[in-house]
């Protein structure tokens, strides 16, 4: 059993094609039932996610990525107190910043951006390419969570 | 900010701390004076078409895709409309009270977020304060307890939503003719744990907004302010009712234009106009016409239109608030914040009232009746009156959908506020960050939701278009 707890927040809009990659990854993590791993799904990150982040040692923000090299890009999150475009939705860095400032969070946090292609259509379901990228992201995230973020 | 000397247009983009994407265009005349200002909103009207052809029972869940900010309002409004389609509009006590609890949770969390995290920087630091302070992290640094309260109030409202709808976002609690769960005693007790703290913070929030308004009244009374009509639903006895009621509209002097209009008759009293320069519709009161029939919605309008509030603390606050109007409606745009906090207090009072009601543990959850082909419903969303109108075929598939969201109703008022502020603060002056923020402050007072619908990393779908006075597009840029 690895030390500490982990949280996966998969966010995005499943009604906008590949924008649903984050929630799809969250569902896959739930289906695999990793010990000590909590999962949240949401449309977008919100300020109150800071309180949830502070309850864990490792946090993975899973989202669709519009421009990264496929299949996905893992990036460590730094606290970012800069104002975002809107605070009705918050960036991972902003959430981490609030978590540390107000709730004493010590979690390490990563963004798992999964390459998507169609994020505009009002349709549910992923494109075939995005589905393939998701499958590779799922293969990666299992061992990553099991190791609580220790990776090469 | 970008400028074009050729067209003399000044474009402020984006409007920060407002949902989604907006663009403000200020057109200067030959003397450098403000000639016209417009707020452009990127709106995805494709949604109404998206849900055509889907079975009606999907609507309460599907419409939540429309907006990640107030999905509960769309969920409940669609459910109310579908209630009519299944002939189940007379809900059981448990079903109606569960929906109301969900709705007050939504009002509470949305108002808390707007006040503490979007508007408080303007109020606490002033419109001209350095840009590095004018955001929630500036508040967090200077007033850490206030910022934390805002987060926890938002979290509490989300817990109310989770326990009534099944999920914090895109829940399924409201179904045609009722709900799919009641509130268990452990769930009720969980919400009771923090209730007193939330009420206390709600009272404090009203005081902050009231003190700000009264202490700065000489500066803000005329800020983006103008007389207007106001519209909301009210209960049969005239009380504020955010979940159900008849339409009431008043004019700038407080005279009633129409009253207790059944939601299904909304097209008898309202119409939607269009403008060549905006994708958004411009609703207006039919009897007055498109020129002068525009109206405001939202917290300010609801406080103005109702006769009273049926919770004691919020009612006391309302009476004090209405003194601003000197016997008539309050038109001060910046008073939206005070009105919003009165509603926040009302919402937590209603939550307390409902948590004490054993009907929430009832087992009678759904009713059915004679099916119909049309359903129309109105609800007071956090930002204002929300309309959902659907027609379905005999095959149960949606044939027509018409939605009027509150930001659409406030479209004309926001444009007027922008123009008013631009004329007063931007004409012939250097365009500083502080001055630009005056325009944004006026827009933020309405808490508009310019839902962006997609937000993926690496993509911020904002298109800026510069159009010359003769209609030629001279520049266009999309920010990724």
- What is the spatial distance between Cα B221 and Cα B324, in angstroms, rounded to a whole number? 10
Rounded to 10°, the helix B144-165/B195-215 angle is: 130
CB proximity B351 to A under 8 Å: no
DSSP 8-state secondary structure symbol assigned to residue B389: E
- What is the spatial distance between Cα A18 and Cα A130, in angstroms, rounded to a whole number? 7
Among partner residues A42, A50, A65, which is closest to B456 by beta-carbon distance? A65
Q: Inter-chain contact B155–A87, Cβ cutoff 8 Å? A: no
The pLDDT assigned to B126 comes to 75
Q: Most A CBs within 10 Å: which of B47, B49, B114, B454, as the mutation test of the A interface?
A: B454
CB B229 within 8 A of CB B252: yes
- What is the spatial distance between Cα B53 and Cα A78, in angstroms, rounded to a whole number? 45
Residue B242 in tokens: 């955010």
Beta strands B178-179; B174-175: pairing state: antiparallel
- What is the spatial distance between Cα B41 and Cα B23, in angstroms, rounded to a whole number? 6
H/E element, B233: strand B229-234
DSSP 8-state secondary structure symbol assigned to residue B18: S
The pLDDT assigned to B68 comes to 60
A and B: number of Cβ contacts within 8 A: 123
Residue B271 in tokens: 């119409």
Q: Inter-chain contact A50–B151, Cβ cutoff 8 Å? A: yes
* E-only strand ranges, chain A: 6-11, 37-42, 58-65, 72-76, 108-115
H/E element, B3: strand B2-4
- What is the spatial distance between Cα B143 and Cα B204, in angstroms, rounded to a whole number? 14
Q: Inter-chain contact B456–A111, Cβ cutoff 8 Å? A: no
- Each of the 480 residues of chain B gets a pLDDT tens digit; together they read 344 444 455 554 444 333 445 677 777 677 767 777 777 765 545 677 778 898 999 999 888 766 666 789 999 999 999 999 999 999 999 999 999 999 999 999 999 988 887 777 777 777 766 656 656 666 766 777 888 899 899 999 999 999 999 876 678 899 999 999 999 999 999 999 999 999 999 999 999 999 999 999 998 999 889 999 999 999 999 999 999 999 999 999 999 999 999 999 999 999 988 776 666 778 999 999 999 999 999 999 999 999 999 999 999 999 999 999 999 999 999 999 999 999 999 999 999 999 999 999 999 999 999 999 999 999 999 999 999 999 999 999 999 998 888 888 888 898 888 888 877 876 555 555 666 677 778 888 887 765 433 333 333 333 333 334 554 443 443 333
- What is the spatial distance between Cα B448 and Cα B410, in angstroms, rounded to a whole number? 8
The pLDDT assigned to B316 comes to 98
Where residue B327 falls (left for φ over 0; alpha for ψ -120 to 50; beta otherwise) is: left
The pLDDT assigned to B279 comes to 64
- What is the spatial distance between Cα B158 and Cα B42, in angstroms, rounded to a whole number? 27
In sequence order, what are the beta bridge partners of B386?
B379
The pLDDT assigned to B419 comes to 83
Whether residue B14 has a cis bond before it, omega within 30° of 0: yes
DSSP of A79-142 = ---S--S-SSS--HHHHHHHHHHHH----EEEEEEEE-S--SSS--S--HHHHHHHHHHHHHHH
Stretches in chain A below the pLDDT threshold 50 = 1, 84-87
- What is the spatial distance between Cα B422 and Cα B208, in angstroms, rounded to a whole number? 27
Domains of chain A from N-terminus onward: 29-146 (3.40.50.1450)
Residue in the block written with tokens 């009601």:
B357
Identify the CA nearest to B79 among candidates B158, B180, B188.
B180
Q: How many CB atoms lie within 10 A of CB B66?
A: 26
The pLDDT assigned to B348 comes to 98
Among partner residues A41, A47, A86, which is closest to B18 by beta-carbon distance? A86
Identify the CA nearest to B171 among candidates B31, B30, B76, B285.
B76
Q: Inter-chain contact A85–B71, Cβ cutoff 8 Å? A: no
Q: Inter-chain contact A87–B113, Cβ cutoff 8 Å? A: yes
Residue in the block written with tokens 């269009």:
B274
H/E element, B381: strand B374-381
CB proximity B137 to A under 8 Å: yes
Residue B206 in tokens: 């009203």
The pLDDT assigned to B438 comes to 77
The pLDDT assigned to B21 comes to 55
The pLDDT assigned to A89 comes to 65
Taking the CA atoms of residue A83, residue A84, residue A89 and residue A93 in that order, the dihedral angle to the nearest 10 degrees is -80
CB proximity B265 to A under 8 Å: no
Domains of chain B from N-terminus onward: 2-42+417-479 (no CATH), 48-409 (1.10.645.10)
- What is the spatial distance between Cα A80 and Cα B314, in angstroms, rounded to a whole number? 38
- A137 Cα to chain B: minimum distance (Å): 16
- Which residues contact residue B315 at a Cβ distance below 8 angstroms, ignoring those fewer than 6 apart? B308, B309
- What is the spatial distance between Cα B420 and Cα B181, in angstroms, rounded to a whole number? 48
CB proximity B68 to A under 8 Å: yes
Among partner residues A12, A47, A66, which is closest to B154 by beta-carbon distance? A47
CA-based R_g, chain B, Å: 22
CB proximity B75 to A under 8 Å: no
CB A52 within 8 A of CB A103: no
């Amino acid at each position: 059993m690895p030390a500490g707890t982990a949280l996966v927040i998969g966010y995005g809009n499943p009604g906008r094609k590949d924008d649903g990659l984050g929630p799809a990854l969250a569902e896959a993590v739930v289906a695999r039932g990793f010990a000590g791993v909590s999962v949240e799904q949401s449309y977008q990150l919100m300020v109150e996610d800071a309180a949830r982040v502070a309850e864990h040692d490792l946090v993975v923000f899973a989202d669709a990525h519009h421009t990264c090299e496929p299949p996905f890009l893992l990036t460590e999150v730094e606290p970012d107190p800069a104002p975002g475009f809107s605070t009705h939705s918050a960036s991972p860095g902003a959430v981490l910043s609030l978590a540390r400032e107000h709730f004493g969070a010590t979690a390490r946090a990563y963004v798992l951006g999964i390459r998507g292609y169609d994020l505009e259509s009002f349709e549910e379901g992923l494109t075939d390419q995005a589905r393939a990228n998701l499958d590779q992201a799922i293969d990666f995230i299992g061992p990553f969570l099991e190791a609580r973020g220790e990776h090469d | 900010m970008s400028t074009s000397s050729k067209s003399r247009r000044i474009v402020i983009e984006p409007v920060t701390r407002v949902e989604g994407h907006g663009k403000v265009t200020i057109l200067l005349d030959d003397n450098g004076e403000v000639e016209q200002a417009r707020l452009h909103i990127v709106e995805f009207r494709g949604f109404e078409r998206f849900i055509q052809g889907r079975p009606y029972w999907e609507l309460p869940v599907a419409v939540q895709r429309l907006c990640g900010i107030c999905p509960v309002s769309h969920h409940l409004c669609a459910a109310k409309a579908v209630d009519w389609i299944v002939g189940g509009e007379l809900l059981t006590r448990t079903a109606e009270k569960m929906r109301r609890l969900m709705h007050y949770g939504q009002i509470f969390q949305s108002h808390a977020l707007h006040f503490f995290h979007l508007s408080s920087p303007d109020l606490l630091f002033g419109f001209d304060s350095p840009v590095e302070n004018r955001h929630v992290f500036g508040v967090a640094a200077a007033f850490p307890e206030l910022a934390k309260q805002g987060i926890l109030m938002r979290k509490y409202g989300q817990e109310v939503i989770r326990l009534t709808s099944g999920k914090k976002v895109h829940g399924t609690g409201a179904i045609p003719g009722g709900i799919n769960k009641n509130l268990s005693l452990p769930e009720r007790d969980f919400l009771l744990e923090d209730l007193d703290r939330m009420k206390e913070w709600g009272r404090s929030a009203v005081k902050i907004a009231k003190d700000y308004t009264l202490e700065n009244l000489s500066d803000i009374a005329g800020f983006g302010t103008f007389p207007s009509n106001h519209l909301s639903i009210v209960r049969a006895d005239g009380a504020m009712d955010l979940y159900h009621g008849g339409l009431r509209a008043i004019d700038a002097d407080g005279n009633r234009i129409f009253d207790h209009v059944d939601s299904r008759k909304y097209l008898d009293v309202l119409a939607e106009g269009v403008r060549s320069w905006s994708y958004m519709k411009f609703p207006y009161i039919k009897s007055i016409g498109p020129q002068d029939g525009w109206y405001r919605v939202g917290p300010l309008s609801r406080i103005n239109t109702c006769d009273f509030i049926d919770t004691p603390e919020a009612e006391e606050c309302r009476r004090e608030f209405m003194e601003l109007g000197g016997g008539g409606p309050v038109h001060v745009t910046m008073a939206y914040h005070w009105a919003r906090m009165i509603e926040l207090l009302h919402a937590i009072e209603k939550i307390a009232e409902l948590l004490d009601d054993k009907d929430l543990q009832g087992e009678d959850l759904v009713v059915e009746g004679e099916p119909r082909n049309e359903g129309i419903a109105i609800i007071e969303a956090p930002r204002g009156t929300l309309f959902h109108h659907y027609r379905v075929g005999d095959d149960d598939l949606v044939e027509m959908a018409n939605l009027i969201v509150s930001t659409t109703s406030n479209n004309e008022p926001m444009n007027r506020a922008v123009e008013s502020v631009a004329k007063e603060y931007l004409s012939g002056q250097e365009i500083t960050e502080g001055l630009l923020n005056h325009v944004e402050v006026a827009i933020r007072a309405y808490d508009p939701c310019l839902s962006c619908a997609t937000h993926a990393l690496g993509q911020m779908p904002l298109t800026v278009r510069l159009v010359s006075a003769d209609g030629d597009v001279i520049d266009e840029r999309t920010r990724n």
